């Protein structure tokens, strides 16, 4: 008959068993950890962006480049949106005789005028480029725009922040500012066409009509002020993203009030008007946002793509988007653009994407590698 163990011996055996179990656990963890630490890994190479455009050196070449990119955007491959904004400020002549109450009423009237002017400018959203209205031309004689001290023309790849670091290197920014206080330049036909001045000068006529029940314009003078063109170009596609035409005018106006406002008499004021017209361009495209993709067997994910079509376009009806794997025994892609790594690859497998839209074909390709190395 076996003699039962004493309570103290049981405790010792249980303790030893626990220690042995913990030791085995730590040993297993250590072996796994060493395996994981020593497991071969694949460091995915960093893809450096490929930029197309180089900044022209001469100002005449910069202007020509800007004009070409602007003209190129008015195509059936692009959607164009246009918006305008008018800002006004009024300053009264100290000798005009207008008291603070008169000034408040006149400012109120001018605010109403400003809102009406904004409504009078045409705006449109997401119109195909070949159907969009092109108010500005940039066709002004370069010799007149870029002569003497009348202009400042800056063009750079990226922008320098407050810390002196360059940001947005994938964008080319430009700003051309022309001071047209030179009346010969202001009256030049090509300059007026380039900046839409003739359209803007209709504002004064429009203001006179809006205020015709309130006052008559006894005298007015229009000064040119400053005219600017600011643009942004995508350096990876060499296509314009947006461009703004900014016009600053000074109107010196003598207004003789009548009717209920006859007591105001003649009031002289300086009216500063800033008009901004901005074009935004959305280009139709189908591109992979990466050139290479690395996966382990069994991995799946959405393909890295960027596709642009009209918001109202319906898949299968207005456009088709297809993906084709060059070797489906290694890589497969479903109709939603989800890629699955099936087996290891000796060489990268090419994946082709094709967008058929508006009777045109947009294509791009991606190289996929399936590896047993851990992808970092």
Q: DSSP string covering 128-167, please?
A: EGGGS-------S-HHHHTSTTSEEEEEEEEEE-TTS-EE
pTM of the model as a whole: 0.78
Both structure tokens of 151? 């202009």
> What residue ranges of the chain are covered by domains with CATH 2.60.40.1080?
41-47+285-375
Both structure tokens of 26? 């730590």
Task: Tell me which DSSP letter residue 48 carries.
Answer: -
Task: Answer for the pair 189, 197: CB distance below 8 angstroms, yes or no.
Answer: no
pLDDT per residue of the chain (376 residues) written in tens, 0 to 9: 445 545 565 565 556 555 555 555 545 545 444 444 555 777 777 777 778 878 888 888 898 899 999 999 999 999 999 998 888 777 766 555 566 666 676 677 667 666 766 776 778 999 999 999 888 877 766 556 676 567 888 999 988 888 888 888 889 999 988 876 655 566 667 777 777 676 676 766 777 777 788 788 777 666 667 888 999 999 989 999 999 999 888 777 787 888 877 877 787 777 788 889 999 999 999 999 999 999 999 999 999 999 999 988 999 899 999 999 999 999 999 989 999 999 999 999 999 999 999 999 999 999 999 999 887 7
Nearest residue to 53 via CA among 71, 75, 69: 69
Instruction: Mark out the alpha helices in the chain (DSSP H runs).
Output: 7-38, 59-72, 100-120, 142-145, 183-186, 189-195, 197-210
281-338 pLDDT per residue, tens: 999 999 999 999 999 999 999 999 999 999 889 998 999 999 999 999 999 999 899 9
41-47+285-375 classified as CATH 2.60.40.1080? yes
As to burial, measured by CB atoms within 10 angstroms (0-12 exposed, 13-18 middle, 19+ buried), residue 298 is exposed
Q: What is the pLDDT of residue 304?
A: 94
For residue 325, what is the enclosing H or E element?
strand 319-325
Q: What is the pLDDT of residue 84?
A: 87
Average pLDDT value for the chain = 80
Q: What is the pLDDT of residue 35?
A: 46
Task: Answer for the pair 281, 241: CB distance below 8 angstroms, yes or no.
Answer: yes
Strands 285-288 and 319-325 come out as unpaired
Both structure tokens of 25? 């656990």
Nearest residue to 85 via CA among 342, 276, 236: 276
Cα–Cα distance for residue pair 271/46, rounded to 1 Å? 55
Q: What is the pLDDT of residue 36?
A: 47
Residue recorded with tokens 């491959």: 77
Cα–Cα distance for residue pair 309/149, rounded to 1 Å? 44
Q: Cα 80 from chain centroid?
A: 12
């Amino acid at each position: 008959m076996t003699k039962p163990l004493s309570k103290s011996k049981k405790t010792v055996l249980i303790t030893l068993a626990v220690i042995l179990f913990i030791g085995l656990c730590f040993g297993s963890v250590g072996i796994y950890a060493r395996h994981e630490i020593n497991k071969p890994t694949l460091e995915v190479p960093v893809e450096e962006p490929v930029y197309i455009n180089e900044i022209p050196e001469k100002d005449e070449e910069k202007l020509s480049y800007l004009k070409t990119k602007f003209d190129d955007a008015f195509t059936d491959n692009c959607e164009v949106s246009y918006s305008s904004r008018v800002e006004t400020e009024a300053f009264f002549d100290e000798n005009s005789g207008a008291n603070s109450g008169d000034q408040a009423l006149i400012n109120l009237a001018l605010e109403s005028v400003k809102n009406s002017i904004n409504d009078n400018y045409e705006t449109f959203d997401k119109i195909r480029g070949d159907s969009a209205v092109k108010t500005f031309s940039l066709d002004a004689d370069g010799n007149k725009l870029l002569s003497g001290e009348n202009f400042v023309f800056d063009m750079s790849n990226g922008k320098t922040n407050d810390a002196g670091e360059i940001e947005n290197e994938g964008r080319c920014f430009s700003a051309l500012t022309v001071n047209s206080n030179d009346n010969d330049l202001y009256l030049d036909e090509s300059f007026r066409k380039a900046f839409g001045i003739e359209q803007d000068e209709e504002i004064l006529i429009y203001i006179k009509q809006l205020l015709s029940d309130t006052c008559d314009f006894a005298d007015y003078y229009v000064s040119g002020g400053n005219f600017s063109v600011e643009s942004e170009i995508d350096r990876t596609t060499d296509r314009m993203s947006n461009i703004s035409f900014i016009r600053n005018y000074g109107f010196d106006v003598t207004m003789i009030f009548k009717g209920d406002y006859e007591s105001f008499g003649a009031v002289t004021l300086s009216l500063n008007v800033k008009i901004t017209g901005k074009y935004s361009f959305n280009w139709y495209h189908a591109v992979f946002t990466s050139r290479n993709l690395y996966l382990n067997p069994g991995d799946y994910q959405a393909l890295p793509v960027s596709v642009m079509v009209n918001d109202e376009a319906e898949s299968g009806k207005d456009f088709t988007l297809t993906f084709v794997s060059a070797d489906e025994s290694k890589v497969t892609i479903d109709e939603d653009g989800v890629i699955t790594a099936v087996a290891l690859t000796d060489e990268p497998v090419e994946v082709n994407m094709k967008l058929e839209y508006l009777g045109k074909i947009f294509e791009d390709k991606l190289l996929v590698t399936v590896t047993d190395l851990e992808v970092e």
